[in-house]
């Protein structure tokens, strides 16, 4: 997909509307949308990434994750404002963020993000600690597996920060470096999908709803 403009609820699932890589306007079904956010650090901006889950299994037995949206913001206030807008626009259900714990308190970014989401009265959104956030190598393996199994769909012809950073990685890259913020957001997301894949079974995949979804598609096409 070249660009996804918005996502709406549809037939117990989600319907994404946007422009395909061929330039044709299109709609397609998703069963989940989740995001991950990285706070601004020094000269590097804050960043968030959102991925959607396609309903059908591919030839490798995986439900592909499709690039929905990304954004960079230099300030925390700008990051919070854009994130809350895009959560609504793209029907994002879960946000993963790094959560550091000391003996007595949670780090300020995670706490403030939770407060902002609460104050914004976001319905149906969960903020969750990024699984395995300290294990960068595990995240790299998940990314390699997703690419190997054709389970990560990125825009073919549009340049994105995520594509740029993934292409720049090589054997000697220090993956812990803060400049790879899009890489970190992606590994948070993949680890989240891996760990919490069974938390909520998308109702669109339930046998009882398949006929309803097919009928809804016919109504759209009519």
- Give percent helix, percent strand, percent coil of the chain, each to the nearest 5: 35, 25, 35
| Tokens linked to 119 | 């104050």
Q: Sheet with 13-19: list strands edge to edge.
A: 3-10, 13-19, 25-30
Both tokens of 199, joined, read 């938390």
Residue 99 near residue 127 (C-beta atoms within 8 A): no
- Which pTM does this prediction carry? 0.87
Confidence class of residue 20 from pLDDT cuts 50, 70 and 90? very high
Q: Are 53 and 65 in contact (CB under 8 A)?
A: yes
pLDDT mean across residues, the chain: 86
d(CA 154, CA 60): 17
In terms of phi and psi (left: phi > 0; alpha: psi -120 to 50; beta: otherwise), the region of 19 is beta
User: Where do the structural domains in the chain lie, given as residue ranges?
Assistant: 3-210
**Beta-strand runs (E) in 135-210:** 152-153
Q: Is pLDDT larger for residue 168 or for residue 124? A: 168
Nearest-angstrom CA–CA distance, 94 and 192: 9
Q: Domain 3-210 - what CATH class?
A: alpha beta
Q: What is the pLDDT of residues 23-65, one digit of tens each?
A: 999 999 999 999 999 999 999 999 999 999 999 999 999 999 9
Q: 138: which 2 tokens?
A: 């595990």
For residues 166 and 143, the answer to whether their CB atoms sit within 8 Å is yes
pLDDT for the residue 23 = 92
């Amino acid at each position: 997909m070249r660009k996804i403009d918005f996502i709406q609820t549809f037939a117990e699932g989600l319907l994404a509307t946007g422009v395909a890589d061929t330039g044709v306007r299109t709609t397609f079904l998703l069963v989940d949308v989740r995001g991950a956010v990285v706070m601004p650090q020094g000269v590097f901006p804050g960043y968030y990434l959102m991925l959607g889950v396609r309903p059908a299994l591919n030839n490798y037995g995986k439900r592909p994750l499709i690039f929905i949206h990304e954004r960079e913001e230099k300030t925390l206030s700008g990051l919070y404002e854009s994130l809350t807008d895009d959560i609504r626009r793209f029907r994002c259900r879960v946000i993963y963020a790094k959560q550091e714990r000391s003996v007595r308190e949670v780090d300020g970014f995670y706490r403030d993000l939770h407060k902002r989401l609460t104050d914004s009265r976001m319905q149906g959104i969960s903020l969750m600690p990024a699984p395995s956030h300290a294990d960068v190598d595990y995240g790299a393996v998940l990314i390699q597996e997703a690419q190997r199994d054709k389970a990560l769909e990125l825009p073919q012809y549009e340049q994105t920060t995520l594509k740029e950073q993934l292409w720049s990685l090589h054997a000697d890259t220090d993956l812990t470096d803060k400049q790879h913020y899009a890489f970190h957001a992606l590994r948070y997301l993949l680890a989240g999908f891996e760990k919490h894949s069974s938390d909520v079974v998308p109702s669109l995949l339930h046998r009882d709803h398949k006929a309803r979804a097919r009928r809804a598609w016919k109504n759209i096409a009519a």
